[in-house]
A = this chain, B = another copy of it.
Amino acid sequence: MTVRESILKTAARLFYQQGYSNTGINQIIEQAGIAKSSLYQHFKSKEELLMAYLQLTGTETLARLTQASEHGASPKQKVLAIFDYLAASVTNESFHGCHFLNIVYEMPHDALRVREQVKLQKEGVRNLFHDILQPLENEALANEIYTLFEGALIGHKVHNDPWPVLAARAVVEKLL
């Protein structure tokens, strides 16, 4: 692992587990086992590190969702496979909510660059549903399924229980 990768991996773990504001630069340096100057050589600021975290995790998340969808044959099966993946994910002990929603809510309203990156990520999820559903020739469906996906994530966050994921999945089952 390069020094840059090691910094990013440590920052990613801490941002996700404790939140962005609760994570200090010094804690990242200490846990990555590097010098402060080395961190700033690779990332100009804590915000740069956050942007890199969102990009890296974003790519990984989209790859996992795409991979999950490939378990289904029809558009309906593909979408349900994504909700099955989500249902399995939220019961994992290391799951602390959606990486991107956690950040967007932590940031002040005017953190435009970060908010834009989260929006871009979520557009990626919406586009994945759009691509899967294309054969059904119903333009509205992707937005509807995407909104259910987000409702499942946030419902799990609030209630700390998988029922919102299952409720969302049941609606998908009826819609498609």
Contacts and interface: CB of A to CB of B under 8 A. Distances in A.
A158 B18 contact: no
A105 B108 contact: no
A25 B121 CA distance: 36
Interface of A: 18-19, 21-22, 96-97, 100-102, 104-106, 108-109, 115, 118-119, 122-123, 140, 143-144, 146-155, 157-160, 163-164, 167-168, 170-171, 174-175
Given A101-B158, A119-B160, A175-B171, A108 B22 contact: yes
Contact of A144 (B122, B150, B167): B167
A148 to B, nearest CB: 6
Contact of A167 (B123, B140, B154): B140
Contacts of A164: 143, 146-147, 150
B171 A144 contact: yes
A155 B147 CA distance: 6
A55 B27 CA distance: 36
B148 A147 contact: yes
B167 A105 contact: no
A144 B115 CA distance: 28
Q: Which interface residue of A22, A100, A108, A164 has the most chain B CB atoms within 10 A?
A: A164
Nearest to A140: B170
Q: Which interface residue of A102, A108, A109, A154 has the most chain B CB atoms within 10 A?
A: A154
